[in-house]
Amino acid sequence: MRSSSSELLLDQQAELRKKKLLELAKPRRPVKVKRTWRQRVWFYATAVLALTAMSAGSSLLFLVPLYVDPAISTLTHHFVDVPVTCVTTRREDLTGIFNCTWSSCREGCTSDMYKCTHIYVSPPPPTPPEESNFTEEAVLLVNIKGCGYPPDVTCGNFSEAFGYEGASFPCYYSRVNRSVVLSHYARDDQVAVIVHYFAIPFVLTVVTAVILCVMHCRCEDDGTRRHHHHHHHHMGLPDNSDCSISTRVDMLAPSHADGPDGPEGAESTRPL
């Protein structure tokens, strides 16, 4: 009698468990969630900030080597602010990768040089404090790197204007190395390049990243977590701070404390 009743209860539990599993396995139609205006603003603000951070950060990869690094190098050479008169002494048009380790002007800064132009000028005699750094002949460069991209740098016009012997023009020599001379120099332009091509993108990247972190990161210290755990324990509530997830099937399964047959099975095994 006892065995038949327990088997009947087990069959009922198995059927109930099977029904629950079938309900969970059924495909559910996606519920269309209607967002509030605050959620929409939050979503679009996140998208705009993320796009701004990625665009500004990636632009630094191209702007720093092409514009910022030459501008910083130009400032560190300490060129004179007042131009002096230079005279072209000679010009050399060379070919070959070993002969073209530098060039007075070339269009493009990444490719190897097989043709180059060397323009040498004679700077004016220095003032007495700079006599130790004086050279009778200096090299003329279109900028500190000797290269650039149109329309800022056009080597054809540069060679025609300064590349013939006896050409006289205003130039700017370096206080650090008197053998380097530029045809054009403006300190304010170099500072503007650093501000526009480095400072602004860098600040945008940092600010947008911080705002995104504040919007989406929730940080709690250990004291707050301990207080939260103690409050739940004191109130007799289950503490789910470990973020554990239990499935509905596990909730339906009988516990071991109730016996192998669950609560009903325990009742069925009691003596009549």
pTM of the shown model: 0.63
Q: What is the DSSP string of 178-220?
A: TTEEES---HHHHHHHHIIIIIHHHHHHHHHHHHHHHHH----
1-15, 81-95, 128-142: range with highest mean pLDDT: 81-95
Instruction: Tell me what the mean pLDDT of segment 48-65 comes to.
Output: 94
End-to-end CA distance of the chain: 10
Instruction: Tell me what the mean pLDDT of segment 95-123 comes to.
Output: 89
* Per-residue confidence (pLDDT) for residue 270, from 0 to 100: 44
**What share of the chain in percent tops pLDDT 70?**
74
Closest by alpha carbon to 179, among 115, 112, 126? 126
State the average pLDDT for the chain.
79
* Per-residue confidence (pLDDT) for residue 230, from 0 to 100: 52
* Per-residue confidence (pLDDT) for residue 194, from 0 to 100: 96
* Per-residue confidence (pLDDT) for residue 199, from 0 to 100: 95
CA distances (Å), 60 to each of 56, 89, 93, 197, 198, in order? 7, 40, 36, 8, 7
**Dist CA 156 CA 163 (whole Å):** 10
* Per-residue confidence (pLDDT) for residue 264, from 0 to 100: 45
Angle at the Cα of 263 from the Cα atoms of 260 and 265, rounded to 5 degrees = 55
Q: Is the pLDDT of residue 132 over 70?
A: no
DSSP letter, residue 96: S
- Say if residues 51 and 90 touch (Cβ distance below 8 Å): no
Closest by alpha carbon to 118, among 144, 135, 95, 84? 95
Alpha-carbon torsion, ordered 261, 264, 269, 272, to 10 deg? -170
CB burial string 83-110: b at 16+ within 10 A, e below: beebebbebeeeeeeeebeebbbbbeee
Q: How confident is the model at residue 120 (pLDDT cuts 50, 70, 90)?
A: very high
Per-domain residue ranges for the chain? 62-126+135-190
**Dist CA 212 CA 192 (whole Å):** 29
Q: How confident is the model at residue 9 (pLDDT cuts 50, 70, 90)?
A: low
Q: What is the pLDDT of residues 229-263, one digit of tens each?
A: 554 554 444 554 444 434 433 444 444 444 444 44
Instruction: Tell me what the mean pLDDT of segment 17-35 comes to.
Output: 75
Across the chain, the runs of DSSP E, i.e. the strands, are: 84-95, 115-122, 138-141, 168-173, 180-182
Bigger pLDDT: 3 vs 62: 62
Q: Is the pLDDT of residue 92 over 90?
A: yes
* Per-residue confidence (pLDDT) for residue 166, from 0 to 100: 92
Q: What is the pLDDT of residues 169-227, one digit of tens each?
A: 999 999 888 899 999 999 999 999 999 999 999 999 999 999 999 988 875 555 555 55
